[in-house]
């Protein structure tokens, strides 16, 4: 077997090795701190790991330094204080979401609207109006931040221009309330989860439904794409989570074991590729 690539795990700190068989091996560096001799630690890792040749030692050193930089940032302690209080809607809020850099955020409400706010000033940027029932789920197309999706109890999901507030598409097809949604990492597709036990995949450009994911026997309240958008994870009130292939629409795995409803299911995105 040969080393194919390194992966970086920020928390808990570690280096992950992927070999030619796509098998992953984790190397923990839990005691990494400012007093650590990075070069000496790298020598120990290389000598103890057959997959890593001496020619790759400089990669290990670079990864350890990157982990140390991240750990220093995580150790910075600031005083937290109330920054702003916004009276955003006339009825209760349901969900909120930031854009990638935190300069704007969304709020959804029982008043059937979604609003985009400027984080620093607290001023309303635009109000997204058009749903006929509660706006329950909201999301930016991060990291771009130029589009917004809103999921509603009116059984539709709407795509909006984040600058102008223009409704670009209305995604239809669900038979019950939409309670979860997400853009894929490229912002080219949208997935919605519904109380009708199904999830649907839509094309952002055309507004057409690409696929419908059927298999849960309860409400789908959580949806999440993996880092390249090829897999979809759904969490359901049927006590299970399912992993789907977004290209074929087929179930890859069903995860069981919970004795109650699953309210959230997420991929681990803390690993970065190097």
The reply to whether the predicted model has a pTM over 0.75 is no
Report if residue 273 sits inside a domain: no
Residue 145 has pLDDT above 90, yes or no: yes
Q: Which domain holds residue 26?
A: 3-75
Same domain, 231 and 168: yes
My answer on whether 208 and 248 are in the same domain is yes
Average pLDDT over residues 120-148: 96
175 or 228: which leads in pLDDT? 175
Residue 197 lies in a domain: yes
Does residue 77 carry a pLDDT above 60? no
- Highest mean pLDDT among 59-68, 80-89, 172-181 belongs to 172-181
Is the Cβ–Cβ distance between 212 and 223 less than 8 Å?
Answer: no
Number of domains in the chain: 2
231 and 178 share one domain: yes
Whether residue 18 is predicted with pLDDT greater than 60 in this model: the reply is: yes
Q: Is the pLDDT of residue 231 over 60?
A: yes
CATH number at residue 103: 2.130.10.10
Average pLDDT of the chain is: 93
Q: Residue 143 above 70 pLDDT?
A: yes
* pLDDT for position 74: 66
37 plus 160 within the same structural domain: no
**pLDDT tens-digit series, residues 183-210:** 999 999 999 999 999 999 999 999 999 9
Same domain, 119 and 69: no
Contacts by 59-64 with C-beta closer than 8 Å and gap 24+?
A: 59/6, 59/274, 60/6, 60/15, 63/6, 63/8, 63/15, 63/274, 64/15, 64/29, 64/32, 64/36, 64/38
- Residue 274's pLDDT is 39
Give the mean model confidence (pLDDT) for residues 9-13. Answer: 84
Q: Are residues 141 and 241 in the same domain?
A: yes
Look at residues 75, 110, 137 and tell me which one is the last residue of a structural domain. 75
Kindly state whether residue 87 falls inside one of the protein's structural domains: no
- pLDDT tens digit sequence for 148-170: 999 999 999 999 999 999 999 99
Verify that 52 and 8 share a domain, yes or no. yes
Strand order in the sheet with 93-98: 93-98, 104-109, 113-118, 124-129
Q: Which residues of 201-211 are buried (b: 16+ CB within 10 A; e: fewer)?
A: bbebeeeebeb
71 and 125, same domain (yes or no): no
More confident residue, 200 or 79: 200
Does the structure show a pLDDT above 80 at 37?
Answer: yes
Residues 6+ apart with CB under 8 A from 75: none
Q: Which pairs with CB-CB distance under 8 Å and at least 24 residues apart come from 141-150?
A: 141/183, 141/187, 141/204, 142/99, 142/100, 142/183, 143/100, 144/100, 144/187, 145/99, 145/100, 145/101, 145/104, 147/183, 147/187, 147/204, 148/106, 148/114, 148/116, 149/181, 149/183, 149/190, 150/108, 150/114
Instruction: Give the span between the Cα atoms of 106 and 103, in whole angstroms.
Output: 11
Reply yes or no on whether the pLDDT at 1 is more than 80. no
The last residue of a domain, from among 30, 47, 75 = 75
Distance, CA of 136 to CA of 151 (rounded, Å):
6
For residues 71 and 108, membership in a common domain is answered with no
Cis peptide bond upstream of 137, omega within 30: no
Percent of the chain with pLDDT over 70: 95
Bigger pLDDT: 65 vs 74:
65
Cβ atoms < 10 Å from Cβ of 250: 11
Residue 235 included in any domain: yes
Confidence label for 76 from pLDDT (cuts 50, 70 and 90): low
* Same domain, residue pair 108 and 69: no
């Amino acid at each position: 077997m040969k080393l194919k690539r390194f992966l970086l795990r920020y928390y808990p700190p570690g280096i992950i090795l992927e070999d030619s068989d796509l098998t992953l091996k984790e190397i923990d560096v839990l005691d990494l701190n400012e007093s650590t001799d990075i070069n000496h630690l790298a020598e120990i890792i290389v000598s103890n790991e057959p997959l890593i040749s001496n020619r790759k030692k400089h990669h290990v050193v670079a990864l350890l330094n990157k982990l140390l930089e991240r750990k220093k940032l995580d150790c910075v302690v600031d005083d937290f204080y109330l920054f702003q209080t916004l009276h955003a809607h006339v009825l209760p809020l349901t969900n909120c979401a930031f854009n990638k850099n935190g300069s704007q955020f969304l709020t959804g409400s029982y008043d059937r609207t979604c609003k985009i706010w400027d984080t620093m000033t607290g001023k309303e940027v635009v109000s997204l109006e058009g749903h006929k029932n509660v706006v329950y789920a909201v999301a930016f197309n991060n990291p771009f931040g130029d589009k917004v999706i809103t999921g509603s109890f009116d059984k539709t999901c709407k795509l909006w221009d984040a600058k102008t507030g223009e409704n670009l598409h209305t995604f239809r097809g669900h038979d019950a309330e939409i309670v979860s949604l997400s853009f894929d990492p490229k912002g080219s597709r949208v997935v919605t989860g519904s109380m009708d036990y199904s999830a649907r995949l839509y094309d952002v450009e055309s507004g057409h439904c690409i696929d419908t994911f059927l298999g849960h026997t309860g409400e789908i309240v959580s949806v999440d794409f993996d880092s390249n958008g090829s897999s979809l994870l759904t969490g359901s009130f049927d006590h299970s989570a399912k992993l789907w292939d977004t290209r074929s629409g087929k179930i890859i795995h069903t995860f069981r074991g919970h004795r109650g409803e699953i309210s959230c299911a997420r991929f681990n995105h803390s690993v970065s590729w190097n």
